[in-house]
Amino acid sequence: MSAAVTLGLLFFLSVGLNYQVAEGCSCRAPRKFQQLFCMSEIVMRAEVTGEKIIHSNKHRPGMGTIQYEIQVIKVFKGFDSIKKIHHVYTKEQSSMCGTRLGHEQYLLTGNITPKGVFVSMCNYHELWDRLSLVKKRNLKYIFRMGCN
């Protein structure tokens, strides 16, 4: 085989593998703001203040969990007291469905499990400062009116 054919095959294989990896985690949940709010077990405004990688399998690095230390500013849906929530968890980004958060304020939606609050790429997570005024107003409206 010539070098050009080999390079061409490698290119197409790498594109195919990247596509499969990207499609490995698919979100079946709706991506609209109100629907994600209603389908989530918890919705809160929180500031990420720290992070710690928790490896569940030392033989498979990148397949662990990230524990984000947070300071909850307001809970719109979920726990009654913000004092109960100190961390949120996600899968490491190299593993399926994980999401990456910086040390900033977010509007986060997630699921409550016996191990804690989990967020994934399928949940809504947006920097609070980037949320439009319309979304902030809708958030208050959805909170008051409930989900149907």
Per-residue pLDDT of 84-138, as tens digits, reads: 889 999 987 655 677 889 999 999 999 988 888 999 888 888 999 999 998 888 8
Domain boundaries, the chain: 33-145
Query: What does the pLDDT look like over 5-49, one tens digit per residue?
Result: 444 444 444 433 333 344 456 776 566 777 888 888 899 999 999
CATH 3.55.40.20 fits 33-145, yes or no: no
**Which residues, at least 6 apart from 43, have a Cβ–Cβ distance to it below 8 Å?**
37, 75, 76, 77, 78, 107, 108, 109, 124, 139, 143
pTM for the structure as a whole = 0.73
